[in-house]
A and B are shown apart, each in its own frame.
Chain A
Amino acid sequence: MTLPNVWNYWAVVVLMMVGLYIVIAKPNYVKKLMGLSLFQVSVIMLYVSMGRVTGGTAPIYILDDGAPRPFVLYTNPVPHVLMLTAIVVGIATTAVGLALVVRIREAYGSSEEDVVAELDRREVEAANALAAQRAAESDASSATAAHAGASHEEHA
């Protein structure tokens, strides 16, 4: 069995997985976004690798006296176009992510995922406890009200 010559893609996949690991395992949000941009660059690399043609030159016409030279092998320009815009869109969306991290830091006092999750859990617990307390109080008050009503009837 002969393996196809795709080691280039394998290297890209390894880089991509390092980025994915950072996104999953690191609790710090800024670190996660760094991992995400690592992942993004790797994806871009995968696309650009697919556009590669052995021996091809950059997709810019080689001109001889104002006319393109015939029989020149060019790399595929389509992945380049798609990835070029993806890079700029990627930095713009990363900026939105970083802005969200700043807001989370301001709201929670931390930019670590486990701290934020723990604070959220406590807030829910406190709210539940409060609701239970209120329910118990209203039960008690309605019970006394019913009791009072019953005694009124008895009196009548």
Chain B
Amino acid sequence: METAITVVLFVLLLATAIILGRQRNLFAASMLTGIFSLVSAGLFTVMEAVDVAFTEAAVGAGISTVLMLATLSLTEDVEAREKKISWPALAVVVLTGGALIYGTLDMPNFGDPHAVVHGEIARYYIDRSWDEIGLPNMVTSILASYRGSDTFGELGVVFVAGTSVLLLLGGRRSELPASGESPGHERPSSRPPGKRHAHVREMPVVRTVAKVMLPYIVLFAFYVQAHGDFGPGGGFQAGVILATAFILFGLVFGPQELVRHVPPERLERIMAVGLMIYGGVGVVAMLLGGQFLAYGVFTPSHPSHGHHYGIFMVELGVGITVSAVMIIIYATFATRRPSLAPQVVLDAEDRCETEVSADDVPLVPEERALRSGADLLAEGAAGTDAASEVPS
């Protein structure tokens, strides 16, 4: 039965992946990435990786799809040209795949309990983590305690990624509209009646349902945060789910409204606070005479209680940073002023043509080079004047 489910899920995944590759409409393609993530979350559940499935469902099917769509609103949502099958690429892929499949022939059978992977370390965690830490969910014990430094580094990567997105896109926010006016709101009279669907922000059903759902999503996020010790969940999942609530708010009521209620300047600080809580727990452990992130020293008489406190604080830090980074990434993408430059396309002879003639035609590179070149020439002329004065 399990094998049958696995086969069905793999077939679904393969079909999704191939259609995704062939799909020129990028809007549809980003929906397909969401479907791919959701189906793979199902596959993870079949393979008993409940925490991974949880994360994949929240991240892949929720946030990454929204990010892709936000990007498409700033670029184009259709691939420019039909591309024929690229035979060199196919050859590379077939060779790589063949090598990998050849490599799997030396691997132990799927599900073999005597495989090397399930060796000493895994057995140690399974046998001892109840006595040493006392949490039912081994994944949380390993994540926040045994491999706490590793997770600290991963959280640092998430923080740095949020900072990078801010550095790359944070500079050019579109203007905040006057409060009360819904942003991006086109007047219904300005468009031909009955031709286009109403914008999602004008749909009363969507607005009402979102308002009802938002508190429950936030509540669920807190539940996942607190319950991560006992079941699947934890800071990473809770942070992503909490961010989903804010992103839903942004999608339904407009990103400007989200930014008005949750200013990015404040989120930037919150983003750092989570990381500092995590690091601070480690430093406190050191000050109390233990090692970095060794929580046993918090309650010397009862080390496992110290582990509970430490893991709780560390997961809290993870949840704060992850949710702040995810919200800030969404807000930065969604409030970025779209470029007015027309799309540059290549025609059949690969000659550069601009598709739309707008008022502000971007400098084509020749002009850009010529202009900077002209500046250089002017400087150079001044320089040669100066140089020619020397011999005379």
Q: Footprint of B on A, CB under 8 Å?
A: 3-11, 13-22, 24-28, 30-31, 33-35, 37-38, 41, 44-45, 48-61, 63, 68, 73-81, 83-96, 98-103, 105-106, 108-112, 114-115, 118-120, 122-123, 126-127, 130, 134, 138, 141, 145, 149
* Alpha-carbon distance A31/B101, docked complex (angstroms): 26
Is there an interface contact between A98 and B71, defined as CB atoms closer than 8 Å?
Answer: yes
* Alpha-carbon distance A110/B230, docked complex (angstroms): 49
Is there an interface contact between A34 and B157, defined as CB atoms closer than 8 Å?
Answer: no
Chain A nearest CB from B385 CB (Å) reads 11
Among A13, A68, A102, the residue within 8 A (CB) of B74 is A102
Query: Which residues on the B side are within 8 Å of A50 (C-beta)?
Result: 107, 115, 117
Is there an interface contact between B342 and A102, defined as CB atoms closer than 8 Å?
Answer: no
* Alpha-carbon distance A155/B369, docked complex (angstroms): 44
- Interface 9-mer from B244-252, B287-295, B370-378: B370-378
Chain B nearest CB from A10 CB (Å) reads 6
A-B contact list, 17 entries, CB within 8 Å: A10-B104, A11-B14, A15-B14, A17-B100, A28-B79, A38-B17, A48-B49, A77-B142, A84-B52, A85-B151, A99-B165, A102-B74, A102-B333, A108-B344, A109-B341, A123-B366, A130-B373
- Interface 9-mer from B118-126, B181-189, B191-199, B209-217: B118-126
Is there an interface contact between A75 and B161, defined as CB atoms closer than 8 Å?
Answer: no
Is there an interface contact between A89 and B164, defined as CB atoms closer than 8 Å?
Answer: no
Query: Which residues on the B side are within 8 Å of A98 (C-beta)?
Result: 67-68, 70-71, 333
Is there an interface contact between A77 and B122, defined as CB atoms closer than 8 Å?
Answer: yes
Is there an interface contact between A31 and B79, defined as CB atoms closer than 8 Å?
Answer: yes
Count chain B residues whose beta carbon lies closer than 8 angstroms to a beta carbon of A: 125
* Alpha-carbon distance A83/B150, docked complex (angstroms): 12
* Alpha-carbon distance A9/B35, docked complex (angstroms): 21
* Alpha-carbon distance A115/B344, docked complex (angstroms): 8
Chain A nearest CB from B26 CB (Å) reads 6
Do most interface residues of chain A lie in helix, strand or loop, or is the interface mixed? helix
Q: Is B258 an interface residue (CB 8 A)?
A: no
Q: Footprint of A on B, CB under 8 Å?
A: 6, 10, 13-14, 17-18, 20-21, 26, 29-30, 33, 36-37, 40, 43-44, 47-52, 55-56, 59-60, 63-64, 67-68, 70-72, 74-76, 79-81, 83, 85-86, 89-90, 92-94, 96-97, 100-101, 104-105, 107-113, 115, 117-118, 121-122, 125-126, 130, 136-139, 142-143, 147, 150-151, 154, 157-158, 161-162, 164-165, 168-169, 230-232, 234, 236, 239-240, 322, 325-326, 329, 332-333, 336, 339, 341-346, 350, 352, 354, 362, 364-366, 368-370, 373, 376-377, 380, 384, 388, 391
Chain B nearest CB from A24 CB (Å) reads 4
* Alpha-carbon distance A109/B150, docked complex (angstroms): 40
Among B112, B121, B126, B345, the residue within 8 A (CB) of A54 is B112
Is there an interface contact between A60 and B60, defined as CB atoms closer than 8 Å?
Answer: no
Is there an interface contact between A59 and B370, defined as CB atoms closer than 8 Å?
Answer: no
Query: Which residues on the A side are within 8 Å of B139 (C-beta)?
Result: 59-60, 77, 80-81, 84
Closest 9 A-B residue pairs measured CB to CB?
A92-B161, A54-B111, A123-B365, A109-B344, A126-B369, A25-B86, A25-B89, A130-B373, A24-B89
